[in-house]
Chain A
Amino acid sequence: MAKILAGVGCSHVPAIGVAMDTGITHDDYWKPVFEGFQKSREWMKKKNPDVIFLVYNDHCTAFDARCIPTFALGCGAEFQPADEGWGPRPVPVVKNHQKMASHIAQSLVLNEFDITIMNEMEVDHGLTVPLSVMFGDIKKNDEWPVLVIPLCVNVVQYPAPTGNRCFNLGKAIRRAIESYEEDLDVIIFGTGGMSHQLQYKRAGLINSDWDKRFLDLMTEDPFGASQITHLEYLRETGSEGIEMVMWLIMRGALNDNVTEIHRHYHVPASNTAVGHIILENNE
């Protein structure tokens, strides 16, 4: 049977992708951001998963204002990196484990999570930046060393799904994955955050104390984290900090008890606090 080994929480700042794509990761500004992922890349190599279930948000790329699904599962065979207005990132096409994705789609709906099914979808930095930071430089003509099942969450138009809903969706995803009959190792990613506000006069807001507490809760009290209100995210972590509900999907898919393998926190990457955590399921 398929098995979830671990969860990864990780910011997906577009400028991190630009820094990798233009080869400036060693300069003074970016070095401290990337140093925190060295251990993660070694860990990832050692774990060598078959599939990554990657929770992220689309930034009006696959979904503009015409259609705003709260949860959309990528079920197509592959996903092209999109042109977000400055040319597509020079990274490989993302390949799905299509059979497993179909199984998850079916299982989720029967478990009363009525997701949208995407058979054609381009993917933006929200999905490719976490892959890049965790796997290192992989060029356009190479291949990602893993298959990826994408789950898009609406966090652009208020309200995003509640933290509680996301946490419970994580549990349903786990049931779906662990009822898939092939022996596959899966790692689940929750991406976005941490505190940041990109818009209007309060842009630039960072709340490091809050972020660090959230990382603590990820390890020690995930249920507590799932009860954080939208108002608290908006006020305390900036209008775009609400992306952190996506980490709760990842956390919901893990055991209550986990081992924290690694943590990294740095301010700033462009407008954003970069946060990262690796949690392994205890046997």
Chain B
Amino acid sequence: MTEKEYNNIPGTIVFDADRSREGYHLNQFCISLRLQKNRDTFNKNEEAYLDNFPMSKEQREAVLKRNWNLLLELGGNIYYTSKLAANDGINFQNLAGRMTGMGVDSYREMMINGGRSIEGNRDKSEWGEN
């Protein structure tokens, strides 16, 4: 298969059909937390609740450790993983603060000052990545 044309955008994981396939059970777990009764069950015993979702060992570990970036690398999508974050009391902006490694306060400050500029953020080569 040819290289996907969007793979050279830095710091970005495009949730395409391949990701969707890999992340299916992880994402279905996350979205189950939309409902209060499921959040209650999960919060009582995370391991037992996760047994209901046949995700990979790596995905399961990333959930338990709340490794937000790894969850995306393993096929998670932000609209799904944000439900796990919401369960933990983390809103979209605070989640972004964590994923960018900036921390919540400096991320919020950056947004108030107009957000992350597009300059220097178009291509992986600008980030010193391939």
Spell out A's residues near B (CB within 8 Å). Answer: 14-15, 29, 59-61, 64-66, 68, 82-86, 156-159, 195, 197-210, 230-231, 234-236, 238-240, 267-268, 270-271, 273
Contact = CB atoms under 8 A, between A and B. Distances in A.
A205 B99 CA distance: 13
A234 B11 CA distance: 12
Given A64-B31, A65-B24, A65-B27, A202 B12 contact: yes
Helix, strand, loop or mixed for chain B's interface? helix
B61 to A, nearest CB: 19
Contact count band on B: 35 or more
B63 interface: no
Contact of A157 (B5, B20, B115): B20
A230 B39 CA distance: 36
B84 to A, nearest CB: 9
Contacts, number: 152
B60 interface: no
Contact of A156 (B36, B77, B110): B77
Contacts of A156: 15, 77, 79
Given A15-B92, A60-B79, A200 B114 contact: no
A64 B115 contact: no
A27 B20 CA distance: 40
Interface of B: 5-6, 9-17, 20, 23-24, 27-28, 31, 33-36, 39, 69, 72, 77-80, 82-83, 86-87, 91-93, 95-96, 99-101, 107, 110-112, 114-118, 121-122
B96 A198 contact: yes
20 contacts: A15-B91, A15-B92, A83-B35, A84-B34, A158-B14, A158-B16, A200-B99, A202-B116, A203-B11, A203-B107, A204-B107, A205-B115, A205-B121, A206-B114, A206-B116, A206-B118, A210-B118, A238-B12, A267-B115, A271-B93
A59 B86 CA distance: 14
A60 B26 CA distance: 13
Contact of B12 (A68, A157, A200): A200
